[in-house]
Amino acid sequence: MTTSVRTAAAPAGSPAPRRRGASPALRRQHRAAYLLVLPFMVVFTAMLVVPLGYAAYLSLYREQLIGGVSFVGVQNYVDALSDPAFLSGLVRVALFLVVQVPIMLGVALVIALLLDSGVLYAQRFIRLAVFLPYAVPGVVATLMWGYLYGPDFGPFAQMATGLGLPKPPFLSSWMLGSIMNIVTWSFVGYNMIIMFAALRGIPTELYEAARVDGASELRIAWSVKIPAIRSAILLTLIFSVIGSFQLFNEPQLLRTLAPSVIDTAYTPNLYAYNLAFTNQNVNYSAAVAFLLALVIAVLSYVVQLSAQRKERRS
Amino acid sequence: MFEIASTPLSRRAALAGLFGVSALGLAACAGSNSGGGGNGASATPVSSDDFAKAMDTDTELTFWTWVPDIQKEVDLFQAKYPKVKVKVVNAGQGLDQYTALRTALKAGKGAPDVCQIEYQYISSFLIGKNLLDLSGMNGFGDLESQYPEWVWNQVARDAAVYAVPQDTGPMGMLYRDDLLKAAGVQAPTTWDEFATAAQTYRTASTNSYLTDLPPNQAGQMIGFMWANGAKPFAYDGDKTVTVDLTGTEAKQVVEFWQGLVQKDLVAVDPDFTDQWYQGLSAGTYASWLTAAWGPVFLQGTAKNTSGNWRAAQLPQFTAGGKATGNWGGSTDAVISTTKNPVAAAELARWINVEREPAMKLATEQFLFPPLNSVLQDSSFVGQTPEFYGGQKVNEVFVEASQNVNTDFEWLPFMDTVYSSYTDVMGPAITNRGDMVGALAQWETKIKDFATSQGFTVK
């Protein structure tokens, strides 16, 4: 918050008088503003800044069962960057991002456009039905899908057996695809609602004009609606990038069903968790978590930047 | 503009925050080891006057345990010592509880006085000198003779005693008598017979297996190695660990299972999952190579198969052999930070050693007893559960308990050993691949971890 407020009384052109601080009224306003943001700042500092700082501090040390704690500088980071377990997890979530996010956002966008254009019957019902999976907690969703995927007693496997087909290997060679499916199922509705809300906010004059010019519905969707909700799409994209890299719940829960498919380093987040809680290697875990955060920050920034470039070009 | 509160981003962030915070708790006060008592070998004997005085003083003890209904035994204890108040806390099961315990120990406050600890984790708490040596306490002098030698070796080191045994898991075999008969298979007594039976059984019923080898169950595999006289792990109580998983006895076990796994003669489903429970109920697995806690557990999970199961000794590599291993079981230990060591030691001893609570644990809570006196008690041995067709199942496991190899040790970081088993051996089992090669990798991983933690590896 800046306090160097130019006093409005100074006539333009004349050299500004020496400031003796803001007027009493302004000072009161500032004080009120500080007071109002204080609760947030306190919680923010205590719950986010301090733990982050502490984790950063931890990541510079090494604690051994024998020999105790020693300062190692960036050694943990150097180790992590050449750690195949960490890197293969990163590659896996990157693949997840490249495949799953476009599918999820594409489906969400199509449904949002269909709902917006009013060509569907039972609009409200469809909107709710698509959104409903998001209301199911991720843990419950994963347990449910885990049962559906089951190789002996899952309905898909039973159907396949009934038809004389081989059982689909949902929990072995298709594992990553199975997780993508769970996440897509859970979050299509959520992303759809964001896009749909943005579509509702477009001034109707825009399409009226397009219609008068004889544009088809598809053309309107492509040339008017999608550009108009670009910022909402960008938002969902950034959330999805972050979500993909932080993948944790689904693999953690499916591990019990397929422990030899999902290892302790299946995703970087799972790796950080297992390093801290199984190997009691908190320092290295903190370094891995920080590197992951760095990757996410860089990627989110790249996504945003490229979107802004496009905007300037168009 | 957007309500962020329920976005996946913030929910995940909140989760991460939780882990972050608890991870911090783990590391809090790193290095400031507040070992109060410590495991000094100089356990000065407590005189009977001091003991009587301590038990007649108003005291509060905190007891961490996940044994269901342990309050029954604690109530008996409090009836005997009305001045001692015991607060029973379930701080999670297994690893969850150890995480909480380590956190409390590092924070220097909040640790319990008495804590349930499984045999294989005792040594991990000796590193930090977190367990009190009980050898000088009242009633511990003549305790050794009351247990099978192998059990005592698990809780004692040289002259020191670090925990009181509560239950054990000597290994045996539970099998479906009806399914084996239908396939024309005799219950195997040697591993050779077991392999032949697996082949015959598989041919007779194509959609089920003689048994399951879970790819995530290091405890069972280590139990098989123990049964075969292997000694893969050792820890000198200080800085030196020994890891030898590729020695003759351990390798023989893995080679044997590799033969069955590669020929598709045993299932390779993870255990303790819904799939596996259904498999036990539906007869997908005709036997379960398990421990003494298995029979009661099975009654709870496969009720519909009542009357068809029988128990037998674990198959042997040498015909006529009897040796077995142990899988599971717990102890109660006194944490060195306790302010009331005498009362805490008495709680740990009394509920597990005195006749009334020990019998209750064995016959009402179905913990398999470590005490010789209970193992010989007819009211325990003579039980004839309907589920096992009236067979005296306890008798089978009592015999097993007498044949557990005596000198088996653990590493002071078994949680890592178990998780790397699932990471390395797991895929080899699931893909029916090179288990012996994976065994060598597993050994290397454990050695690397030990070195990175500052241990000298032999």
CB within 8 A of A18, min separation 6: which ones?
none
What's the pLDDT band for B20 if we cut at 50, 70, 90?
A: very low
Which position has the higher pLDDT, B105 or B32?
Answer: B105
Q: Which of A248-262, B22-36, B364-378 has the lowest mean pLDDT?
A: B22-36
Q: In DSSP terms, which residues pair with B235 in a beta bridge?
A: B241
Residues 105-164 (B) with a CB less than 8 A from some CB of A: 127
**B256-260 long-range contacts, CB within 8 A, separation 24+:** B256/B191, B256/B195, B256/B317, B257/B213, B257/B221, B257/B224, B257/B429, B257/B435, B258/B434, B258/B435, B258/B436, B259/B195, B260/B195, B260/B198, B260/B213
pTM: 0.86
Residue B14: per-residue pLDDT = 35
Q: Is B359 on the interface with A (CB under 8 A)?
A: no
Residue B43: per-residue pLDDT = 65
Which stretch, B13-17, B38-42, B157-161, has highest mean pLDDT?
B157-161
State mean pLDDT over B240-250.
97
State mean pLDDT over B256-270.
97
């719950």: which residue's tokens?
A47
What single-letter DSSP state applies at residue B314?
A: P
CB of B16 closer than 8 Å to CB of A293: no
What single-letter DSSP state applies at residue B344?
A: H
| Distance from the A144 Cα atom to the nearest Cα atom in chain B, whole angstroms | 12
CA distance B385 to B369: 17
CB of A189 closer than 8 Å to CB of A132: yes
Residues 158-217 (A) with a CB less than 8 A from some CB of B: 172, 187, 190, 194
Q: Which residue ranges in chain A fall short of pLDDT 50?
A: 1-14
Residue B206: per-residue pLDDT = 87
% of chain B exceeding 70 in pLDDT = 91
Nearest residue to A104 via CA among A175, A179, A183: A183
For strands B84-89 and B59-64, give the pairing. Answer: parallel
Q: What is the pLDDT of residues B67-121, one digit of tens each?
A: 999 999 999 999 999 999 999 999 999 988 998 999 899 889 999 999 999 999 9
Residues 258-277 (B) with a CB less than 8 A from some CB of A: 270, 272-275
CA distance A194 to B9: 14
Residue A302: per-residue pLDDT = 92
Residues 216-275 (A) with a CB less than 8 A from some CB of B: 235, 239, 242-243, 246, 248-249, 256-261, 263-265, 269, 272-274
Structure tokens at B169: 């898991």
Residue B398: per-residue pLDDT = 97
Residues on chain B touching A43 (C-beta within 8 angstroms):
none
Residues on chain B touching A67 (C-beta within 8 angstroms):
454
Which position has the higher pLDDT, B161 or A151?
Answer: B161
Q: What is the pLDDT of residues B350-359, one digit of tens each?
A: 999 999 999 9
CB of B14 closer than 8 Å to CB of A51: no
Side-chain-side CA neighbours of residue B217 (13 Å)? 21
Q: Which of A48, A239, A285 sits opposite B9 (nearest CB)?
A: A239
| Distance from the A208 Cα atom to the nearest Cα atom in chain B, whole angstroms | 27
Residue A7: per-residue pLDDT = 40
Residue A306: per-residue pLDDT = 87
CA distance B180 to B187: 7
Side-chain-side CA neighbours of residue A293 (13 Å)? 16
State mean pLDDT over B175-183.
96
Residue A16: per-residue pLDDT = 52
